[in-house]
Amino acid sequence: MDVETGEHPGFFTSRLERVVGWARRYSIFQYPFVTACCGMEYMSTAAGHFDMDRFGAGLPRFSPRQADVLFVVGTISHKMAPVLVRVYEQMCEPKWVVAFGVCTCTGGFYDNYATVQGIDTIIPVDIYIPGCPPRPEAVLDGLVKLQAKIEKQKQLG
């Protein structure tokens, strides 16, 4: 407590951080980078039965400059890797990455020279959603974990 003013230092900024964290948590603008068969599961999760809108993440953006979460869905080849890196670099800060499916996370059963063995070798990944393809429940669980991570991060400064 400050003797002269009688105020607690950081009270306003700590409350503002919580509000900004809450707002970012429930306003996720995702960029779907879909390359393979997991795309069908991604679309079914975004559709009416599972409804990503309930979590504040239902509106995909197809410009990396308007998105803050990059959903990498499917197998990434070494030929496609520079494109993925460019999309990631075009996103504004703060930005997060979700690896969707076992091929994205580890290369899957494609243990060969043409496939990236996990996108974390080329860009940082925040959430991994395993499965071939991942069930919609697993995708929503990963989304909830990402939201918790977003809310807990330092928001200001």
Q: For residue 5, what pLDDT is reported?
A: 54
The pTM score is 0.84
**pLDDT for 48:** 76
| Block mean pLDDT (10 aa), the chain, length 157 | 54 72 82 91 84 81 90 94 96 93 92 93 95 91 92 73
- In this predicted structure, what is the pLDDT of residue 8? 55
Instruction: Give residue 66's identity as a one-letter amino acid code.
Output: Q
Name all domains of the chain by residue range, CATH numbers in brackets.
Answer: 29-152 (3.40.50.12280)
- Helix count and strand count (H, E) for the chain: 5, 4
Q: What is the pLDDT of residue 25?
A: 79
Q: Which residues of 38-66 are buried (b: 16+ CB within 10 A; e: fewer)?
A: bbebbeebbeeebebeebbbeebeeebee
Distance CA 41, CA 47 (A): 10
Q: Mention every residue, 6+ apart, whose C-beta is less than 8 A from residue 43.
A: none
Whole-number pLDDT of residue 9: 56
Residue 82's pLDDT is 97
